[in-house]
Amino acid sequence: MTQETVKPLTLTLGHLYPDQLNLYGDRGNILTLRRRCQMRGIELRVIGLGIGDALAPDEYDMLFIGGGQDKEQAPVAQDLYEIKGIGLWAAIEDDMPVLAVCGGYQLLAHYYRPAEGPDMRGLGVFDAWTIHKGAGVPRCIGNVAISWNGTTLVGFENHGGRTYLGTAKPLGRVLKGHGNNAEDRMEGAVYRNTYGTYMHGSLLPKNPHFADHLIALALQRKYGIKHLTDTHNDASRHNGYGSKEQQTEKALPATAEELLSLKNTISDQSEILKPLDDTLEWEAHASMLERLGLYNAASAALRTLKG
């Protein structure tokens, strides 16, 4: 009897401009996503997309764009608009999760006006624009914390450009730091499942809840359910939904095909990603909040860890 080949759950992430846009440890975001998937039995494939490479949206489940200096952004801006624009727009409108940091964030708005030289045309995903007011205006540098989805996000920012939102929804409200422009207390922008932010650090290692949010969006889009409660390997040892004590949580099916067939049987989609040991991540998160004087927020973060 031929043993049936079990196909693991997989996600494919397109990393746009990994050589040109990779400031302040932005690659750590990729490492975090890969590790958090791996610990749940999900394979995350990462494919770099450089200048000149087309973006075929049906080949990816997530996209990431990092930050870079002005001199690096000019050729990227042209390539993004002329080569990858159509594919990226199609992915965004199809609710693919996209994370764009700093320079990548700026290029998803209408335009970036540098201190010197012509404007760089953006894709206009966010109704926003960015203006660098010149060397005489201090840069927005330092640790930053924002409110997000009933909790907090922390990171590090270093940008000369000031981003102003039109009708775009902000990612969050600045609790400490500069955010988009050091004026209106707004940080980042959101359109569908696309998130733009100035937070480096890198962002995802100190914000495991945001990393899991992106993973959950990708899983929902590909496999039809929002969240998963068990790892691929653990679930393969169960029959159905397991013991009586386990019946309140639906186990992850053993194959991608089983998961695809299961999506139509789940009505409330209330499952959650299997919790990981994020002690160090939440302690780092709380430590930054404490350094910023946000003691109540730090306490809330530690309560999340204990919970």
96-134: pLDDT as tens digits: 999 999 999 999 999 999 999 999 999 999 999 999 999
Judge residue 283's burial from the number of C-beta atoms within 10 Å of its C-beta, 0-12 exposed, 13-18 middle, 19 or more buried. middle
256-298: pLDDT as tens digits: 555 544 444 333 333 457 899 999 999 999 999 999 999 999 9
**45 - beta bridge partners?**
12
- Mapped onto helix, strand or coil, the DSSP state of residue 187 is strand
Domains in the chain, start-ordered, CATH in brackets?
11-212 (3.40.50.880)
Q: Is 162 annotated as a binding residue?
A: no
Average pLDDT value for residue range 197-210: 95
Catalytic residue numbers, as ranges: 102, 200
158-174: pLDDT as tens digits: 999 999 999 999 999 99
Contact 139, 191 (CB under 8 A): no
State which amino acid sits at residue 279.
T
pLDDT exceeds 60 at position 142: yes
- Whole-prediction pTM value? 0.85
If we measure between CA atoms, which residue out of 62, 52, 45, 41 comes closest to residue 19?
Answer: 52
CA 155 – CA 91 distance, rounded (Å): 27
CA 255 – CA 187 distance, rounded (Å): 39
